[in-house]
Amino acid sequence: KESIPQATPTKTGIDNAVDKVAEVTPKIVEPIADNTSKPIIIYNVPSRTGVNVLPSTYAELCEHKNIIATKEASGNISQIAKLAQLVGDEMDIYSGNDDQIVPILALGGKGVISTVGNVIPKDMHDLCASFFAGDLKKAQELGYAEANPAADVEGLDAARKTAILCGLCFGKLVAPANI
């Protein structure tokens, strides 16, 4: 299916265009939620969007039946703990930072929407499966050693660093053009 153009959302347009909606700016989440029956995951990635969704905002947004989850990548564990306290079971929380998966799972998170998981999906699966099976030691080991092999490499983003370290990338890497 094709992506939604940046315009005023309509129910028919959204419902026919996508299976799920991932939205990054709180100001337009509710109008989208009002015009679709699709589940919506809020992406809180302030380092990329310049907008940080606060726990109090989540508490309001989770009242909408279509807003079901968040990819939480604020990097602020105290904020995520407050979020979990405020929304309870009304909204699922997924780690959006590969180096914070275990702490977010420990706060009640349901999993991860991962960058490096695109390169090493089995490691990410094993990390979450270990945590949910009660093997915290294995989850902690995977949480840094295997699932985040690129943490100490400077420069490129995590997915590209991981691909290089895993021997999955050859040739010259070029940064995307600025738009």
Distance CA 7, CA 19 (A): 18
Distance CA 118, CA 126 (A): 14
Which active-site residues does the annotation give? Answer: 43, 71
Q: How many helices (DSSP H) and strands (DSSP E) are in the chain?
A: 9, 5
The reported pLDDT for the residue numbered 175 is 60
- Element at 123 (helix H, strand E): helix 121-132
The reported pLDDT for the residue numbered 50 is 84
> To the nearest whole percent, how much of the chain has pLDDT over 70?
65
CA-to-CA dists, residue 172 to 160, 162, 164, 177, angstroms: 11, 15, 11, 15
Q: What is the pLDDT of residues 63-122, one digit of tens each?
A: 999 999 999 999 999 999 999 999 999 999 999 988 899 999 999 999 999 878 877 889
Q: What is the pLDDT of residues 12-38, one digit of tens each?
A: 555 555 565 555 556 677 888 888 888
CA-to-CA dists, residue 30 to 21, 87, 109, 114, 144, angstroms: 12, 17, 23, 25, 36
**Residue 143 DSSP code:** I
